[in-house]
Structure 1
Amino acid sequence: VKGSSREQQISLNLLNMAMLGTHLSIGRYLMPLVEDKNLVPSLISFIEQGSEVLRGKTLIFVALLCKNARRWLPHFFCSGKLLSTVDRLAKEKDGYLHQCLDAFVNIVSCTVPGLLDTITADIQQIMGGRRHAHVTPLAGRATPKTNVHLFPVVLHLLGSSSFKRRVVSDQVLRHLVNLVKLVESAFQGRDDFQITLLRVLESIVEEPSLVLQWPSVFICNILPSLSAIYKGNKDGDARFLCLKILFDVVVIFLNEPPNDGQQAEELKSISQLHFLPLYPMFIKDEDPIPIYAQKLLLMLIEFDYIKISDILNVETVQQCFEFLLGDLSSANVNNVKLCMALASAPELETKVLSQLKVVRRIGNLLEFVNAKEMEDFLEPTLGLCRAFLLRSICHRKGLPYVKEPTLLSDSSPEMNTPIDQQNCVRDIADFGSYVGVLLELSGSQEPNVSDIASECVVLLLKVAPREGTTGFLTNLPKVTAILDCWQRGAAHLLVQRMLHALGYSCRQYFSHAMILSIALSEVSKIKLIVSQLSKCGIPALVTAAALVASELDRLPRCR
């Protein structure tokens, strides 16, 4: 490797011709080169800094070295230096260099199936007790007893954009399936090997097109083995990688509609047989395993691969709501969405929700996420509030639920049918302490947040009139602010709900002789706005405003 650039090219030409021109194995003649500590750094330097011709010839020489003797592979590919240079060279425009680079990638990639085949045989012999998983240092003179120590080379190659698509093939995946199956059982050196294997699979799964190209390999072979590896595994990193790979593969298939019914059935089978049985273990495992498990469960429910009825054992339901009893700052949005899905499911009996006694904690969560401006939490948390409130409304037998407010309608069957307390969430009235935050969110600029929050206000007044009224009338300034927005484009349904809630609260205040501190100045402001709404020309608002005006006039102590 010494001499001028011209001499270096001639030397590489001769070496390449010698390796290409013989039918005999020349691996043993290359062994002394391993002792030259400057060889590998010098060759990498040529590839990094040499002329296009020198770079190309060096790439071919390195590829042929690795093809003729696998022990060279880790010297070149177990550090990121050469691979990062190769990925950079792929952007060069020189035609000769590109040809050499393509040949280099092809030759090295073709060594992987044979390497995996040998590693598989070695592990089988280790499991049979015929070999020991002894790892020899790379620079040592002794010949390694197995090729298992070369496996990290595959992981490094998959980390290169130049190699990933060339390395992964039907043959390579078959070998990986066999290796994953072997790792289900214990053998000497398994702990280190399984981590590398799982990272190899993780790297492949990072390219969705590869998963979609071989769907049955992942669904029918790799994913079931991952669940087996997870069970009883003492390595937290290995357990996490098992779930992460399962998560990533399932997400890929959920984002791509199944090509046929069989694939959908296989995904359902994976969900039912290899994910759900492990869910109680996932949820109790180290972070971030519970977060991934919850998100995956939620997605599988949304795509109907898992039904709510599949998870309706008491332990699972309690686990889902358990986060509400702890530090709310550690909650994640999937916790909330999963609870909302459960609370919304007709299969879940209302008495189970009553036994949880979490309404006050849900209200605390709503206050917390609003105060911390956790926007991604607002809609799911409000949805959870609404799901609990709807439990009482929907148990008025035979009455369909409508989103338009009917609080001021004396003829409404919904308002004339009493709440069935036996089928109502028993602590639902605790939401009365959170009317203030519901009103604040009703005035949100985000339409969905405003819609759900204002709906919750109306629902609360229906299911817990006294508590709802107290919360509503003690937060009149917030009501005034919402009603005052009607001329600035506020949604008609929002204004209509506030009018109904206001009129109904006034009616409750009067009929139950409630004693509350209500500012006369605030009532005067609202009367003015209501008077304007009675002339706005929008029939639903005009009707509601007329009813509210008469109720405001009846308020004691405020005339």
Structure 2
Amino acid sequence: EGFMDIRLESAAQTKADGRKIAIEREISSSTLEEASTSNGDSGLGDLGQSELKDMSVLELAFHSSDLHVKPIVGNRRIEKKHDFQWDAFMLPFEPLTLQEMLELDQESLESFLSSIYKTVASSSSVSERLNILAYFGGLCKDSNSANILINSSLLHMFVTKLRGTKTANLKTHFAYVIGALIRHATFIGEDVPKTGIIDALTESVRDKSEVVRRKSMAALGELLFYIVTQEQEAEEGGMGRPSWYIPNGTITTIVRLLRNVEDPVTQHYAVKTLENIFSIGGAWALRLGTHETALSLVHICTHAKSEHVKVTASSALARLYRCNVDKTQMITDKIGMRTIVGFLKEGNAKVQQHFGSVFILALESASNKTKNALTDEKSLAVTLISLLDHSSPVVRGKAIVGIVQLSKLQMHWFVQVCNAKFIGITERLGRSKDPYVLHCISFLQASMPMIVERLVTQISEGVEKLCGRRSSAQRNRSYQNSSLSSLCHETHLACKALLGIVTSSPFRTACAGGSTLQKIGELVLKLQKGPAGLIAEIKDAVFNILEAISQHGDLLLLNPRDILGSVFPVLSFSMVNSQSGDTRFLSAKMLCDMVLFYISEVYGTAGSSGSEGFAERGGADELLQGQIRESILPSLPALLTDEDPIPLYSLKMMVAILEYEPGLTADVADLGLLPSFVSFLSLDHPNNNVHNLRLCRMMVGTKAVPLNELLGEGIVEKAASVLSYTCENLVEAFMEPSLELCCAIIERAVKEGRGAALEVLASTCTQKIANLGKHSDV
């Protein structure tokens, strides 16, 4: 073989077909990483709804650490690093360091490399050539030198020798040097594909020598990754396609290595190659990302003895899903959801992390087969809840996203995790400082309104079946009893899940949707028709949900129009018409709480910003007044005669209403309730309270109630009696309202010339007030 002159091509002088991505770079999901970084320390719920709606599940399924691209050649997780040793005394030339070589001028550099070329290409002894190749390998570990050397005649000679040499040691060294050059080069010229390097490395991967196979597969994997990167960049940049050709035999060789358990190291290099290619995506990732490849990767995850191989295989599978979304459903059906769920319980945290991504994407495009398979995974909810306490924040975040996806697919899973304290655990995780975890919780928050709406729909459908199947139950009592009992249990669990959301500070605003509130209100009416023994627990849970809504001002203010339009009428109806005393009491209490909130908190300060903001919400002000006139006032007569403590809440509510809108005093008077109010002033009456005292004062103060009617009901004597008892026993709560009532009676009587009617009251007031003056604490 004749010697060839060294031909050097400068990367700066030759137009590159593409540029290799730096091997250490991270491929991250851009919007996720940027948002996580910027919002990392600001706590739960920082991301805007618009940002979250624009975010795909594909972005959330992968943390930036899932997409790191690591070198193939020299990867210590695959094979213990081994630097080939060389002896300076055996070299036929004066050895130069890497830095010294790079500082040579062009002529000296060509002369130096010619010496290496001639010795390796000659018929020198094997030991001499091995020594030179070991030395030369050290010169390849720099991008500047690698760019020069790989684009010279040296590479062509190395490839030729690799194919022609029978000695295993020499083949190993040639593969090692070629791999080092590819690993560190950032530019490979157009002449390199013509050397037959792909065919040579492919043949060597099939070599009998284990060491030759390993070095060759590492070099081939590094080259394929470079080619795929180059082609992807050319396609994205609109440049011409690089002049590389990858034969089918090379692809077949790599795929077969996935099933080769005899040489796990070579297999690991093949898996690492696929992992890196799947990170880039593009045409080659689609070609290699078949369901057969996926099955082989799962087999490696299951049977490999090395944990490092399992991690690489699981990572490759996750990236295969990421770049091959259109085939995800078919691949999942081939692998089986049971297998994927099984790996979520794996002891290796990295494997769990990668299968977390697979699980999320598998749910995103789940087929009926997958949905049916999920039904058989009885412990899935427990598994996902356990992952929320995982030591890895990435696994915790993916568990949250997985639960969201699973809930969108089948609502009963959400009910299960909520009853396993999912909401409470997520609230605790919300105090985390990890950006990814916070991002996943924000995604859960953004998804919660849709989940809640579906949850309420499920509850509503369950209640409707429970309350409307009496006749069918009679036809087949044994079957129906069992069926209804199961349905009742499921519906009750769903109610408990909803209650957990309503009482959760980060998530309860998801319950403020119009259709959600309407369905919750309708549940109250539906439950009044059902068999009491069967639906008792559900009924209690629904009222607990409504009570929680009534006690949280942020919910009441978020959507007052739907609360007033959907919830108020139902409660107004129930507090009068329900057969159950408990239902009437709870309805009255909740209605009272909400009325007091809207009046005192929102309208308490005239012209306040809160009042204006509330009034702007679609005519909520007018709607509140309408509900008071149409629903609450007509109910007063029945409420005041109901069992305790319903009259107490009614009186309390009426005082607030009349202070808010004094013009309604005449309407209350027209209801003919004055005798009731005055009778409540009796000392032994259970409704003798400060609220009734204030109502009586309001009745005295309005001309809609004639003075003769007031006097005829004995209001003077009753007021005097209350004042007397209050002063004698120093009942502090009654002191001011009883004095105000007496003062109002005196003022009204004097104005209308009926002072003679005040004799009893005047003497009582004079005597008791004089006595009060003797007490130092009054």
Shorter chain as denominator, the TM-score bin is 0.5 to 0.7
Percent identity, please.
22
1:341 paired residue number = 698
Contact in 1 for aligned 2:356/2:399 (Cα 8 Å): yes
What is the CA-CA distance between 1:368 and the residue it aligns to? 4.1
Q: Counterpart amino acid of 1:205? A: S
Contact in 1 for aligned 2:346/2:352 (Cα 8 Å): yes
Describe the shift of the 1:282–1:115 C-alpha distance in structure 2 as closer, same or farther (beyond 3 A): same
1:260-299 pair list within 5 angstroms = 263-299=620-656
Q: Does 1:154 align with 2:511?
A: no
What is the CA-CA distance between 1:29 and the residue it aligns to? 1.2
Contact in 1 for aligned 2:463/2:491 (Cα 8 Å): no
Contact in 2 for aligned 1:183/1:229 (Cα 8 Å): no
SS state of the match for residue 703, structure 2? coil
2:769 paired residue number = 438
1:166 paired residue number = 510
Gaps of 5+ in 1: 397-418, 450-559
Q: Does 1:301 align with 2:658?
A: yes
Contact in 2 for aligned 1:86/1:162 (Cα 8 Å): no
Contact in 2 for aligned 1:154/1:200 (Cα 8 Å): yes
1:27-426 pair list within 5 angstroms = 27-34=371-378, 36=379, 40-41=381-382, 43-48=384-389, 50-78=391-419, 81-124=421-464, 129=469, 150-179=494-523, 182=526, 192-254=537-599, 255-256=602-603, 257=611, 258-259=615-616, 263-304=620-661, 307-312=664-669, 316-327=673-684, 331-357=688-714, 359-370=716-727, 373-396=730-753, 421=756, 424=757
12-21 or 219-228, which deviates more: 12-21
1:399 paired residue number = none
Contact in 1 for aligned 2:517/2:563 (Cα 8 Å): no
Q: How far apart, CA to CA, are the structure 2 residues paired with 1:295 and 1:211? A: 20
Describe the shift of the 1:371–1:120 C-alpha distance in structure 2 as closer, same or farther (beyond 3 A): same
Contact in 2 for aligned 1:271/1:305 (Cα 8 Å): no
What is the CA-CA distance between 1:334 and the residue it aligns to? 0.9
Aligned residues: 415
Contact in 1 for aligned 2:396/2:437 (Cα 8 Å): yes
Task: Supply the RMSD in Å over aligned alpha carbons.
Answer: 3.9
Q: How far apart, CA to CA, are the structure 2 residues paired with 1:315 and 1:349? A: 12
1:507 paired residue number = none
Q: How far apart, CA to CA, are the structure 1 residues paired with 2:620 and 2:451? A: 32
Describe the shift of the 1:445–1:92 C-alpha distance in structure 2 as closer, same or farther (beyond 3 A): farther
Describe the shift of the 1:310–1:442 C-alpha distance in structure 2 as closer, same or farther (beyond 3 A): farther
SS state of the match for residue 93, structure 1? coil
Q: Counterpart amino acid of 1:56? A: G
What is the CA-CA distance between 1:76 and the residue it aligns to? 2.0
Describe the shift of the 1:46–1:186 C-alpha distance in structure 2 as closer, same or farther (beyond 3 A): closer
What is the CA-CA distance between 1:438 and the residue it aligns to? 1.0
Q: How far apart, CA to CA, are the structure 1 residues paired with 2:427 and 2:649? A: 32
Q: Does 1:20 align with 2:364?
A: yes
Q: How far apart, CA to CA, are the structure 1 residues paired with 2:644 and 2:724? A: 26
Contact in 2 for aligned 1:110/1:167 (Cα 8 Å): no
Q: Which has the higher contact order (CA 8 A, sep 6+)?
A: 2
1:508-523 pair list within 5 angstroms = none
Q: How far apart, CA to CA, are the structure 2 residues paired with 1:242 and 1:314? A: 22
Q: How far apart, CA to CA, are the structure 1 residues paired with 2:549 and 2:411? A: 22
Describe the shift of the 1:101–1:338 C-alpha distance in structure 2 as closer, same or farther (beyond 3 A): same
User: Over residues 425-480 of structure 1, what are the superposed CA-to-partner deviations in whole Å (9 max), with x where a residue is unaligned?
Assistant: 5xx4255245343135468899xx9xxxxxxxxxxxxxxxxxxxxxxxxxxxxxxx
Q: Counterpart amino acid of 2:568? A: L
User: Over residues 110-144 of structure 1, what are the superposed CA-to-partner deviations in whole Å (9 max), with x where a residue is unaligned?
Assistant: 22222333444455556664876978799x9x888
Contact in 1 for aligned 2:460/2:523 (Cα 8 Å): yes
What is the CA-CA distance between 1:335 and the residue it aligns to? 1.8
What is the CA-CA distance between 1:47 and the residue it aligns to? 2.3
Contact in 1 for aligned 2:746/2:755 (Cα 8 Å): no
265-274 or 185-194, which deviates more: 185-194
Q: How far apart, CA to CA, are the structure 2 residues paired with 1:205 and 1:319? A: 29
SS state of the match for residue 231, structure 1? helix
Describe the shift of the 1:154–1:232 C-alpha distance in structure 2 as closer, same or farther (beyond 3 A): same
Describe the shift of the 1:104–1:311 C-alpha distance in structure 2 as closer, same or farther (beyond 3 A): closer
What is the CA-CA distance between 1:164 and the residue it aligns to? 0.6
Q: How far apart, CA to CA, are the structure 2 residues paired with 1:3 and 1:131? A: 50
SS state of the match for residue 377, structure 1? helix
User: Over residues 65-92 of structure 1, what are the superposed CA-to-partner deviations in whole Å (9 max), with x where a residue is unaligned?
Assistant: 333322223322236x332222222222
Q: How far apart, CA to CA, are the structure 1 residues paired with 2:765 and 2:543? A: 48
Q: Counterpart amino acid of 2:572? A: S
Q: Counterpart amino acid of 1:85? A: I
Q: How far apart, CA to CA, are the structure 2 residues paired with 1:144 and 1:122? A: 7
Q: How far apart, CA to CA, are the structure 1 residues paired with 2:643 and 2:668? A: 21
User: Over residues 387-416 of structure 1, what are the superposed CA-to-partner deviations in whole Å (9 max), with x where a residue is unaligned?
Assistant: 2222331122xxxxxxxxxxxxxxxxxxxx
Describe the shift of the 1:72–1:198 C-alpha distance in structure 2 as closer, same or farther (beyond 3 A): same
Contact in 2 for aligned 1:67/1:108 (Cα 8 Å): no
SS state of the match for residue 311, structure 1? helix
Contact in 2 for aligned 1:180/1:222 (Cα 8 Å): no
User: Over residues 181-225 of structure 1, what are the superposed CA-to-partner deviations in whole Å (9 max), with x where a residue is unaligned?
Assistant: 645756785665444334333323333344344333233333223
SS state of the match for residue 286, structure 1? coil
Which structure is larger by alpha-carbon Rg, 1 or 2? 2
382-391 or 189-198, which deviates more: 189-198
Q: How far apart, CA to CA, are the structure 2 residues paired with 1:293 and 1:358? A: 21
What is the CA-CA distance between 1:341 and the residue it aligns to? 1.3
Describe the shift of the 1:234–1:78 C-alpha distance in structure 2 as closer, same or farther (beyond 3 A): farther
Q: TM-score, normalised by structure 2?
A: 0.47
Gaps of 5+ in 2: 1-344, 474-478, 604-610
Q: How far apart, CA to CA, are the structure 2 residues paired with 1:300 and 1:93? A: 47
User: Over residues 5-35 of structure 1, what are the superposed CA-to-partner deviations in whole Å (9 max), with x where a residue is unaligned?
Assistant: 445445544433432354546232122322x
Q: How far apart, CA to CA, are the structure 2 residues paired with 1:329 and 1:116? A: 40
Describe the shift of the 1:261–1:378 C-alpha distance in structure 2 as closer, same or farther (beyond 3 A): farther
Q: TM-score, normalised by structure 1?
A: 0.63
Contact in 2 for aligned 1:66/1:108 (Cα 8 Å): no
Describe the shift of the 1:102–1:386 C-alpha distance in structure 2 as closer, same or farther (beyond 3 A): same
Contact in 1 for aligned 2:719/2:742 (Cα 8 Å): yes
Describe the shift of the 1:25–1:393 C-alpha distance in structure 2 as closer, same or farther (beyond 3 A): farther
What is the CA-CA distance between 1:292 and the residue it aligns to? 1.4
Contact in 1 for aligned 2:449/2:513 (Cα 8 Å): no
Q: How far apart, CA to CA, are the structure 2 residues paired with 1:150 and 1:390? A: 59
Contact in 2 for aligned 1:282/1:290 (Cα 8 Å): yes
Contact in 1 for aligned 2:522/2:570 (Cα 8 Å): no
